Each structure stands twice: as C-alpha cells, then as structure tokens.
C-alpha cells in the first residue's frame, strides 16, 4: 500500500525497494527539485520510508510517550515519512478505551507538536491509534496483546512488522521483555516480518544490573533487533559532530594530545527535576546524564575515524574510547569527581525551591543533582589530555557544549603586548544557539601591537534557516528503517556503567559531607571549580 502523498496503486516499499526508491529519487533530483515544496520536510531525510508496521507503545499514557514519542510519530506521519499502513497500539495500566486514549493523544499533539497540527493529518493519524489496557505483570495481558495485534494487523495491513517501544518505568523492562518472549512476539520467522524493540534509558542501574538486563533482553531478542535509545545521539548537532570531524580534513591532524590541552563537556540545565522526584531520587545526575549523554559526547569527540559509516564500525570505535577510560579507584573518585545538590536559590530572577524541598524527594536526600568529573582516555591519541565533564540541574542556564581547548603557542613572540595571547578554542554548541565557534588571536587596530581574542562563529540558524528534526523523530525513523548506528550496543552500555559504577560505589561508602552544597542558579559547588583550578584551568563561562 502506498504511503500518503505517493500516487495510489503503487506497491509498498520493502527495505530493498527503499534503496531503489532512494536512487530513483536522487536521479530525479537532478532534473526537478524533490519534495522541497513541502516546508515541513525541510531538514529531514526525504528519501527514506519505512515498511508498513505496528508500533506497540508500552507506557503509552506516561509522560515520555506524550511529551516525546507520540509527537515525534505524528511529525513523521505529517511529513510523509511513515507508511500509510501503520498503527500505534498503546499499552498501559489505565482503564482507557480506544476513544479516551485517542482524545488524550490528540490533546498532547495540540500542545506539543513542534510544527502545529492540521486537521487532516491529525485525523488520519488518530485513525491509526488504538489502546490495550493491561498490567505488565499480568501474563493474560500479553495473550490479549498477541490477539489484538493479530486483529489490528489484519485491519491495517501492517505486514506483521512490529516495533515495541518500552517507554515504561525502567523497573518494568525485564517483565515486559520476558512476557513478549513468552507469547512469541519477539520471534522473526522468515517471511513473517521484522520485530524490533526500543529500550529507553537508563539501561540498568549499575554495571551488574545492565549486564543482567542485557542477558534478559538477549534471551528474547537478538542484538540486531535491540535499539537502546540515548536521545542525545539523535540531536542534529551531535550527529553533526561526526560530519565536522570526518567530512573536514583540517581538524583531524590537530585532534590529538599534541595540540589539544584539554576538553570540557558541559550539559547544564536551569530547570530542576520538575515532577520527576521519585525517578530522580533513584537516578541522580550520574545515572541520568553522566552514564549516557556525557559519555556518548565524549566518545564521539575522542573516537578514531571508523572505516565505514555502518552501525557496527561506528559503535566499535565508540566502545574503544570507553574501554580506554580506566575505572577510578575510591581515592581517585575522591580527588577527580565532585558531586553536588542544589539548595534554594534564584533562577532567571525567580525564587526556586531546593532539591530536598521538591515533591517526592526525601528531605534528607543524598542524591546528587550535579556531578563534575575529570577522566582520562588512556590511548595513543589522548594520553595525558584530561576530559572534564559536568552536568547539573538548576544551574544558571541551559547550555550543552563541547569545548576543545588547544595548547598555547610554544614561544612568546610578541613580547611587548600587555596581554598574553589566549590559546585557541573550538566550542561546539549542542544547544541552544546550535553552532560552532573558533576563537583565535588577532591584532587590534592601531599603531601598537595589541592582541585580542576574536571569534569565528557558525550558527545553524543563520546558515540553514530550517528547523531541525527532534532527536526522537530521527531515532524512531532509524529504528523503523533498521538502522542502529545511533543506538547504544550492549557492550557500549556495559563499558559506560564500568566507568560510573565505581563512582557510585565509592559515594555509597562516603556519604556527602555537606548537602545541599550549591545554591540553585549558580554553577555548582566550589569544589567543581577547584577540580580545574588545581590543574591551572577553569571552566568556560557559558
């Protein structure tokens, strides 16, 4: 069956015919501009259309499903990137009917769709949304799921291709996975369509539980069916990091210990924990951001060029980076990792509560809302170059940035200048104000020889003037197309826990001496500044 926007009567694309379609479209582009006429498609990969399929969304009434997953699916639908023959089957505990669920989805889309909604695409999208009530620990619910899916698939012609999306509490992952296996919903028998599963983060709680979860999911699905999501990898600016490094020849020769003094990676948020107190109490900044988003960014910055752009080649190189980071001993944790928790303060001129005053948070909580760490990538390229990572809630502003700080010039030539030249800096702004800045020294106009730092600044907004897709759109589309490049492999996630778990273990043994230790609206505890000051460095002001 055709996808919307395609002339009817044409057979649905299979994975092989997509390649042909892509080639045909590339060819077509030479003579006539492609679907650019539709501004909603700008910035998206126009040529890719997944197979007909059913998306089974576990945790369909939850925050993640409504904030991210459903708006992303709607956007893909609206821009003709989903096949006409698809359905979304929401599965959750709430005793909803199909109609109540659809009404809730509709309300979320009206509120959240990043390009608004139009009546026609909204109506056709909702026609494909259905609901099944069930408890994840109830085997009967999964028997009903199998029957419901069979029925829906006949009705919607989805060719028995299925994508399971686990947007539930992480504690429900093992149960859902085991039940899918028990009722035979994971098997791919030839000619029966594909079965894939997207698993949200955090994947495990520590090294041991991640290995256990990998084992559990591995009993039911093959690795090539498993898509562990870290939405940072779907961000345009993060994907551009690969292009920046490997589609430009001039950076690679200086991307190493000879020229780079150190690297800073910051994921700063001004917001607090919002209404996720219970989740955050168990997670903290290390599990929520360090183990995944920050280590992913570090891997992309530090990895070797992969031989191909295929999922395995890319992920092999990322694993090499994480493997080269030695696990810290308790003494090293004490001197190289700083934890913090925010107290009451001011953010954007508004008074805000401290972490311990947030709802669902223990008034004596020792959960960290800030972490800064100095890590070393012990390999030929990076030996001796510190990577300073930091993340925190309730910092003064939202900013994610990778700063490559180059070494100072080896010889001071301009001795009469009043100010020492600053070393060069390359700042890759992931968000907001997405772009890349290069700082270099320049002579100030005048008869003397004064030197000042100036910036060359590329911003996405002005260079391309199109909206970027949301990370979830990119990643869900990739999973539907069977492209796992931007998803985390089993070994990668275990290695990342291998770095974070010794930190967590050592903190259990030594409770924080003074929590809260930073005021909301400041850049974290003073110890974070001292971590760099001790090496004669300082955090970049963002």
Catalytic residues: 293
For the bound state, the minimum distance from the C-beta of residue 276 to ligand BG6, rounded and expressed in Å, comes to 7
User: From the CA atom positions of the chain, what is the Rg in Å?
Assistant: 25
Nearer to ligand BG6, 13 or 170 (CB): 170
Nearer to ligand BG6, 138 or 275 (CB): 275
Q: Nearer to ligand BG6 by C-beta: 43 or 421?
A: 43
Site map for ligand BG6, 284-323, x if CB under 6 A?
Answer: ----x-----------------------------------
Residue closer to ligand BG6, measured from CB, 63 or 118: 63
Neighbour-count burial for 483-511, b at 16+ CB within 10 Å, e otherwise: ebbbbbbbbbbbbbbbbbbbbbebbeeee
Work out how close the CB of 352 gets to ligand BG6 at its nearest, in angstroms, rounded to a whole number: 15
User: Would you say 47 or 288 has its CB closer to ligand BG6?
Assistant: 288
Residue of this chain nearest to ligand BG6 (CB atom): 288
Exposure of 541 by Cβ count < 10 A (0-12 exposed, 13-18 middle, 19+ buried)? exposed
Evaluate whether 58 touches 93 at the Cβ level (below 8 Å). no
- By beta-carbon proximity to ligand BG6, the closer residue of 292 and 336 is 292
By the 8 A CB rule, do 139 and 179 touch? yes
Q: Say how many Å lie between the first and final Cα of the chain, rounded.
A: 51
- CB-CB neighbours of 400 under 10 Å: 25
How far apart CA 160 and CA 152 sit, in angstroms, is 10
- Number of CB atoms found within 10 A of residue 267's CB: 24
SS3 90: strand
Spatial CA neighbour of 199 closest among 161, 169, 162: 169
**What is the chain's percent helix, strand, coil content, to nearest 5?**
40, 20, 40
Residue 360 CB, nearest approach to ligand BG6 (Å): 14
Mention every residue, 6+ apart, whose C-beta is less than 8 A from residue 465. Answer: none
Half-sphere exposure of 337 (CA within 13 A, CB side): 28
What is the total count of residues that contact ligand BG6 (CB under 6 A)?
3
CB of residue 288 to ligand BG6, shortest distance in Å? 5
> Which x/- pattern, by CB under 6 A, does the window 252-291 give for ligand BG6?
-----------------x------------------x---
> How far apart (Å, rounded) are the C-alpha atoms in residues 374 and 142?
46
Q: Does 200 bind ligand BG6 (CB under 6 A)?
A: no
User: According to CB under 6 A, which residues from 105 to 164 bind ligand BG6?
Assistant: none
d(CA 512, CA 338): 10
In angstroms, the Cα distances linking 1 to 46, 51, 102, 171, 189 are 19, 10, 24, 38, 22
Nearer to ligand BG6, 104 or 288 (CB): 288
Tell me the C-alpha distance between 142 and 132, whole Å.
10
Specify whether the CB–CB gap between 122 and 16 falls below 8 A.
Answer: no
Site string for ligand BG6, 217-256 (x = CB under 6 A): ----------------------------------------
CB of 400 to ligand BG6, least distance (A): 6
Closest distance of CB 269 from ligand BG6, Å: 5
Give the shortest CB-316-to-ligand BG6 separation in angstroms.
Answer: 25
183 in Cβ contact with 221 (< 8 Å): no
Q: Please, which residue, 68 or 374, has the CB nearer to ligand BG6?
A: 68
Site mask for ligand BG6 (CB under 6 A), range 398-427, x = bound? --x---------------------------
Kindly list the residues in this chain that would bind ligand BG6 in the complex (CB under 6 A). 269, 288, 400
């Amino acid at each position: 069956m055709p996808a919307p926007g395609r002339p009817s009567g044409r057979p649905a694309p299979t994975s092989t015919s997509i390649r042909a379609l892509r080639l045909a479209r590339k060819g077509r582009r030479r003579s006539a501009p492609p679907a650019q006429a539709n501004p909603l498609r700008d910035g998206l990969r126009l040529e890719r259309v997944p197979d007909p399929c059913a998306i089974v969304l576990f945790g369909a009434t939850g925050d993640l499903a409504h904030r991210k997953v459903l708006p992303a699916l709607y956007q893909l639908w609206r821009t003709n990137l989903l096949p006409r023959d698809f359905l979304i089957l929401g599965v959750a505990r709430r005793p909803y009917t199909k109609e109540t669920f659809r009404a809730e989805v509709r309300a979320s889309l009206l509120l959240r769709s990043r390009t608004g909604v139009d009546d026609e695409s909204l109506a056709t999208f909702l026609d494909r949304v259905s609901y099944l009530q069930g408890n994840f620990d109830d085997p009967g619910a999964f028997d009903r799921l199998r029957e419901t899916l069979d029925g829906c698939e006949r009705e919607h012609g989805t060719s028995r291709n299925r994508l399971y999306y686990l947007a539930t509490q992480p504690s429900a992952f093992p149960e859902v996975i085991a039940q899918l296996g028990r009722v035979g919903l994971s098997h791919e028998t030839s000619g029966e369509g594909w079965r894939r599963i997207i698993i949200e983060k955090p994947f495990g709680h520590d090294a041991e539980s991640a290995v256990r979860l990998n084992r559990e999911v591995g009993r039911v699905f093959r690795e090539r069916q498993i898509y562990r999501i870290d939405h940072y990898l779907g961000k345009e600016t993060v994907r551009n990091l690969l292009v920046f490094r490997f589609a430009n020849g001039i950076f690679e020769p200086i991307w190493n210990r000879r020229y780079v003094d150190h690297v800073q990676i910051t994921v700063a948020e001004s917001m607090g924990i919002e209404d996720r107190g219970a989740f955050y109490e168990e997670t903290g900044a290390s599990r929520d951001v360090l183990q995944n988003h920050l280590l992913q960014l570090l891997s992309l910055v530090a990895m070797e060029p992969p031989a191909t752009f295929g999922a395995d080649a890319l992920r092999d190189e990322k694993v090499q980076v994480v493997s080269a980071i030695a696990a810290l001993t308790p003494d090293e944790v004490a001197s190289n990792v700083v934890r913090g928790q925010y107290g009451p303060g001011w953010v954007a001129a508004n008074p805000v509560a401290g972490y311990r005053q947030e709802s669902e948070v223990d008034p004596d909580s020792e959960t960290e809302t800030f972490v800064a760490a100095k890590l070393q990538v012990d390999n030929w390229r990076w030996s001796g170059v510190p990577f300073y990572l930091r993340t925190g809630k309730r910092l003064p502003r939202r900013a994610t940035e990778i700063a490559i700080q180059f070494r100072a010039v080896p010889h001071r030539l301009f001795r009469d200048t009043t100010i020492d030249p600053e070393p060069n800096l390359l700042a890759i702004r992931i968000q907001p104000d997405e772009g890349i800045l290069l700082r270099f020294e320049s002579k100030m106009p005048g008869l003397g020889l004064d030197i000042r730092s100036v910036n060359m600044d590329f911003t996405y907004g002005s260079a391309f003037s199109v909206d970027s897709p949301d990370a979830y759109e990119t990643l869900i589309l990739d999973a539907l197309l069977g492209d796992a490049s931007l998803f985390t492999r089993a070994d990668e996630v275990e290695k990342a826990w291998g770095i974070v778990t010794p930190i967590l273990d050592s903190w259990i043994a030594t409770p924080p001496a003074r929590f809260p230790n930073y005021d909301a609206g400041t850049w974290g505890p003073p110890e974070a500044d001292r971590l760099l000051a001790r090496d004669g460095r300082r955090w970049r002001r963002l």
